[in-house]
A and B are shown apart, each in its own frame.
Chain A
């Protein structure tokens, strides 16, 4: 099998490729930012003394973690309009990724918080610190450093998952050409071959 690489076509689509890539990377970046913050909220919500909240959040995290991201992306994108909320593919993708990874990050934070020694909590009590200060000034600063490795892994994971956004058309198929080099090339080639052969 032989293909002809057509430079003029490649140049022609380059701006579109770049724009699509930028858009998707931005969605991933913002999605991650959502996940970093929402994950902490989910982790802290599981530590409130109010049991029903703890239970609901725990189950929600389990649910998000055990269902496929690609399905969640579809769900967020298509279900909104049914209730009158129209989301652009970009927004939907961002929300889905943010939600999905916030469940994972909440587990990272949870482990980090649980690893803070009991003595630290007791020292805060002995100094009569409020719950808010205990978390903000003592517990979270100690829980974050050990969480960084896990947070980094999931950042890599998000970038690996961004091609999935193509399923709802955040980037058109051409985006796949850059994020999935080989597969994309095949598609481009297919296009060329078809065009040349008048198919």
Chain B
């Protein structure tokens, strides 16, 4: 079967899977960014309990693998009375996993904002919250965007694991097509190419563009 015939026959399923992957990607990104920001601020907090909680989250999710976390969240949490459907468990796991890595990026960027900026904001007698929101974070954002670009590629790749709890994403569809047709090269090859295209021609350019826009806003471009 030629690749064109293959695409004509199974293209719809590939597209369905890609849309689910895209949805997982977007939702997981939201989770990751929120978790990263909260954990980074928590780790920089003076409150011991908050700091402890943030450090625990970061170390736990960075120290174990995404697959383990996915199984925990999907299979174990129900034992504690928290039952999530597979779609939610999927993007939540991926988001929390990547968020732990993102937290370190956010923290590094916040700490990389020059000391003079903190002192200047202090001299204007800004409250800590306002200082963080108005002065520090906007500058940190520019610094953290390039590493976030790489991390979002990792996130996209991470979403492929949700197929293991039967979320019908791109990976899942490729597996299904393979199982019913044995057209392995076509099925998995197409999926590989789609992931590559998403990473290389959607996520990377979008992040580059965001970097430019943010740099311009800070008057650095």
A interface residues, Cβ below 8 angstroms from B: 1, 62-63, 65-72, 74-75, 78-79, 81-83, 160-161, 163-164, 167, 176, 179-180, 182-183, 186-187
Overall SS of chain B's interface: helix
Cross-chain contact A160 with B64 (CB below 8 angstroms)? yes
Cross-chain contact A161 with B65 (CB below 8 angstroms)? yes
Given known pairs A1-B79, A180-B68, the reply for A68 and B185 (CB within 8 Å) is no
Q: Once the chains are docked, how many angstroms separate the CA of A24 from the CA of B64?
A: 17
Cross-chain contact of A67 among B175, B183, B192 (Cβ < 8 A): B192
Report chain A residues within 8 Å CB of B67: 163-164, 180
Q: Once the chains are docked, how many angstroms separate the CA of A110 from the CA of B24?
A: 33
B62–chain A nearest beta-carbon distance, Å: 10
Cross-chain contact A67 with B199 (CB below 8 angstroms)? yes
Cross-chain contact A66 with B76 (CB below 8 angstroms)? no
Nearest A residue to B187 via CB reads A78
A45–chain B nearest beta-carbon distance, Å: 20
Q: Once the chains are docked, how many angstroms separate the CA of A83 from the CA of B72?
A: 38
B interface residues, Cβ below 8 angstroms from A: 64-65, 67-68, 71-72, 75-76, 79, 153, 156-161, 163-164, 171, 174-175, 178, 182-185, 188-189, 191-192, 195-196, 199-200
How many residue pairs link A and B with beta carbons under 8 A? The number is 91
Cross-chain contact of A71 among B68, B171, B182 (Cβ < 8 A): B171
Nearest A residue to B197 via CB reads A66
19 contacts between A and B (CB under 8 A): A1-B79, A65-B153, A66-B156, A67-B157, A68-B156, A68-B171, A70-B161, A70-B163, A70-B164, A70-B171, A71-B188, A71-B191, A75-B188, A82-B184, A163-B67, A179-B68, A182-B68, A182-B75, A183-B75
Cross-chain contact B188 with A176 (CB below 8 angstroms)? no
Report chain B residues within 8 Å CB of A78: 178, 184, 188
Cross-chain contact A75 with B189 (CB below 8 angstroms)? yes
Q: Once the chains are docked, how many angstroms separate the CA of A67 from the CA of B200?
A: 10
Cross-chain contact B184 with A81 (CB below 8 angstroms)? yes
Cross-chain contact of A66 among B68, B79, B183, B196 (Cβ < 8 A): B196
Nearest A residue to B81 via CB reads A1
Q: Once the chains are docked, how many angstroms separate the CA of A163 from the CA of B178?
A: 22
Cross-chain contact B185 with A79 (CB below 8 angstroms)? yes
Cross-chain contact B192 with A182 (CB below 8 angstroms)? no
Report chain A residues within 8 Å CB of B178: 74, 78
Q: Once the chains are docked, how many angstroms separate the CA of A67 from the CA of B178?
A: 18
If A65-B153, A66-B200, A180-B71 are given as contacts, then 9 extra A-B residue pairs at C-beta distance below 8 Å, sorted by A number, are: A67-B192, A67-B196, A71-B195, A74-B178, A75-B192, A81-B184, A161-B65, A180-B67, A183-B75
